[in-house]
Amino acid sequence: MTDPHAHEHTADLADTDPHAGHTEATRGHQHHATDTVTSPDDPATHDHAHAHPMHTADSGADEHAGHGGHGDHGGHAGHGADHVAQFRKLFWINLILAVPVVGFSSMFAMLFGYEIPDFPGANLIAPVLGTVMYVWGGWPFLTGAISELRARKPGMMMLIGLAITVAFIASWGASLGLLDHELEFWWELALLIVIMLLGHWVEMRSLAQTTSALDSLAALLPDEAERVEGDLIVKVAPDQLRVGDVVVVRPGGNVPADGRVVDGRADMDESMVTGESRPVARSVGDPVTAGTVATDSGLRVEVTAIGDDTTLAGIQRLVADAQNSTSRAQRIADRAAGWLFWFALAAAAITAMVWTLVGNPDAAVIRAITVLVIACPHALGLAIPLVVSIATERAARGGVLIKDRLALESMRNIDAVLFDKTGTLTKGEPTVTGIETIGPLDEDAVLGLAAAAEADSEHPLAKAIVRAATERGLTVPPATNFSSSPAVGVTATVEGQEVRVGGPYLLDEMGAGEVEAAGRWRTDGAIILHVVQDGVVIGGLALADEIRPESREAVDALHKLGVQVVMITGDAEAVANAVGTDLGIDRVLAGVRPEDKAAKVAELQREGIKVAMVGDGVNDAPALAQADVGIAIGAGTDVAIASAGVILASSDPRSVLSVIELSRASYRKMKQNLWWAGGYNLISVPLAAGVLAPVGFVLPMSVGAILMSLSTIVVALNAQLLRRLDLSPENSTRTILNR
């Protein structure tokens, strides 16, 4: 930002000004809207309990997310509240049916020392109730087994279905006297079904919770929107809104669609979209996002996007896509789960063969069933999808949108984070950073005169000066006779005196010298403007692209993690080095043209450095695609977002730390779950087969069923621990810096 033609900065800086481009038509529209305000501060009466139907399809997209690649399990087709209720109902009914089956078991009677009641038909209680339990309680597992068979993807449902079917047939054979009475497994079958239903009920509850990210996003939209129609305010459904409509957002109300504020000012709670906990002030001309909340006062908003084009709908799609995408670790786990089915089936066959050869056919059936029951490919198949689903949800709540799960996996191994300077480490808009006076006037007086002269200008530098005066609480006097001269500056009459504000050409025209601080400001890369009153220089202003206060924390925390910080910019070396030194950045790449950014990323990669690139503009897209992980920060652009694997909803550079923390935490959980699921099966299957029978230890079939259910529950509960992560940028940074 060292261009000497201070008032010729156009494209780059103008784009950063949120108020640029307001036409007279727009202002007229605003006044018209104001004329029809009817009690804008009336309390909101919206009921937000239900999401609007327009988002049903999106939220439904997550129905299978908990299983990832295991949506083919017939009994597991969906994981919504209705599916949880189904397993809960089946569990309680079958538990009641199991009581008499177990109670009429001779083993339990002998164990607890009671006599089984003897009455006509007593011997039919266990077979009849056991059959009901097999057909009704076993239905989810049997249909799941059929689905797996049709899909040619054998898994847990086939193992369970095979186990309960063998037990059912053997028990009927024994009850009818066709097989040895030792093969009567009614009580084992009853407990097996009850335990399986309990395990799946608990699992379904865990999985159903992972859909809450999409459900809560959909619930952010109000059921009704209040549309301004002439002098009336009409309540309509959000999907009836059209671009250009003006809607009233009352205090405490949710914005029904993306739009631009045309009347009013409010502090907006945007935490559900950006992860930023502090309210953000929005006033006329500022954009607002569907789902955000006006916390303190009412607004009028002109709709700029509706339905699937809104930011909220885009976030929903990204969350759903991420939860349904597949990573390297997931593919390995899926293959392992498939292999485990054949391993368990082979182990069951070998077990039956060995026990038959040693002369114990009854034990052969019991041991084979126990092997089929205890093997749990589902724990292995669930180990990663559940972690990823919860991680994606937590990320979305923290303003981090995972577009590509491979990017999330890779983030834990990043060696360097490459930040684009403008709009990422800096605010991307000029700010007054220094004032020096010459003569009797103080800083406030000089700034006030400059703001008065610049008040009618649309230039970003002019807006920065006016904003600085407003932030200081200065009363800016009115100006007349405003005129602007390209490359020179502006001139206006303020309180009867001519005031001019401009760059070096203004001084050249006057033959005047710079203020004393100009040299220092220039070294720091600032733009320098001088203020002239009636032909006399009365002071100078330094303007620069202000460094975000969060950037220092982000750099410090990345260093704490052992990650290099590199800054890339098209700015001159003096400007870039000033920012780099201020922030403590390891490497500064200055004077880089937009088309060369990707080449710079490739250079770092050739040094053996794994690079995460953080950018927000169109010219960052090739570099984002080249990097090991591309991260689009802030609103970004469609092109940048298309090239990125991770999207940060806010412009806070500390959000990068949230991504690293999430990547490392989710990887730990994946590893723990895989070790548990794999280790459990390697140990439990041989035990179920009876390898310790020579030393007197034989694993009961019912215990095998309990262990199988517990293995899945352990994996699910371990993944749930990720919910403790607070991925807000400030918390992630504070956690790292306090280690």
**Looking at the structure, do residues 510 and 645 belong to the same domain, yes or no?**
no
Neighbours of 15 (CB within 10 A): 14
Indicate the average pLDDT of the chain. 79
Instruction: State the pLDDT at residue 208.
Output: 63
Report the side by side order of strands in the sheet with 527-533.
Answer: 426-437, 536-547, 527-533, 497-502, 489-494, 479-485
Residue 433 resides in a domain: yes
Last residue of a domain, one of 494, 528, 546: 546
Residue 640 resides in a domain: yes
Residue 526 resides in a domain: yes
Instruction: State the pLDDT at residue 617.
Output: 62
**Looking at the structure, do residues 454 and 558 belong to the same domain, yes or no?**
no
**Looking at the structure, do residues 564 and 463 belong to the same domain, yes or no?**
no
Residue 380 resides in a domain: no
Last residue of a domain, one of 529, 546, 563: 546
Band (pLDDT 50/70/90 cuts) for residue 44 is very low
pLDDT over 80 (residue 51): no
**Looking at the structure, do residues 501 and 582 belong to the same domain, yes or no?**
no
pLDDT over 70 (residue 7): no
Higher pLDDT, 506 or 80: 506
pLDDT in tens, 80-136: 567 788 889 999 999 999 999 988 887 778 778 888 888 888 889 999 999 999 999
Instruction: State the pLDDT at residue 304.
Output: 93
Residue 474 resides in a domain: yes
Q: Which of 62, 420, 545, 628 does the annotation list as catalytic?
A: 420
**Looking at the structure, do residues 414 and 433 belong to the same domain, yes or no?**
no
pLDDT over 70 (residue 541): yes
**Looking at the structure, do residues 518 and 614 belong to the same domain, yes or no?**
no
Query: Which residue range is the domain that position 602 belongs to?
Result: 398-425+548-658
Last residue of a domain, one of 634, 658, 682: 658
Tokens of 253: 């109300």
**pTM for the whole structure:** 0.63
CATH number at residue 461: 3.40.1110.10
pLDDT over 60 (residue 394): yes
pLDDT in tens, 120-157: 888 899 999 999 999 999 999 899 889 988 988 887 78
**Looking at the structure, do residues 574 and 626 belong to the same domain, yes or no?**
yes
Instruction: State the pLDDT at residue 319.
Output: 58
Higher pLDDT, 325 or 576: 576
**Looking at the structure, do residues 404 and 451 belong to the same domain, yes or no?**
no
**Looking at the structure, do residues 514 and 570 belong to the same domain, yes or no?**
no
Active site residue 269: no
Q: Number of helices and strands (H, E) in the chain?
A: 29, 22
Instruction: State the pLDDT at residue 241.
Output: 92
pLDDT over 90 (residue 682): no
Instruction: State the pLDDT at residue 558.
Output: 96
**Looking at the structure, do residues 654 and 558 belong to the same domain, yes or no?**
yes
CATH number at residue 409: 3.40.50.1000
Band (pLDDT 50/70/90 cuts) for residue 736 is very high
**Looking at the structure, do residues 539 and 578 belong to the same domain, yes or no?**
no
Instruction: State the pLDDT at residue 411.
Output: 93
Instruction: State the pLDDT at residue 507.
Output: 92
Higher pLDDT, 56 or 491: 491
Compute the average pLDDT of residues 633-638: 57
Q: What is the DSSP string of 460-505?
A: HHHHHHHHHHHHTT--PPPEEEEEEETTTEEEEEETTEEEEEE-HH
Residue 282 resides in a domain: no
**Total number of domains constituting the chain:** 2
pLDDT in tens, 18-33: 333 333 333 333 333 3
Residue 505 resides in a domain: yes
Using DSSP bridges, classify how beta strands 266-269 and 246-249 pair: parallel, antiparallel or unpaired.
unpaired
Q: What is the DSSP string of 695-715?
A: GT----HHHHHHHHHHHHHHH
Residue 347 Cα distances to 354, 374, 523, 684, angstroms: 10, 11, 76, 11
At 263, which helix (H) or strand (E)? strand 258-263
Higher pLDDT, 98 or 336: 98
Residue 501 resides in a domain: yes
pLDDT over 80 (residue 453): yes
**Looking at the structure, do residues 421 and 554 belong to the same domain, yes or no?**
yes
Instruction: State the pLDDT at residue 93.
Output: 95
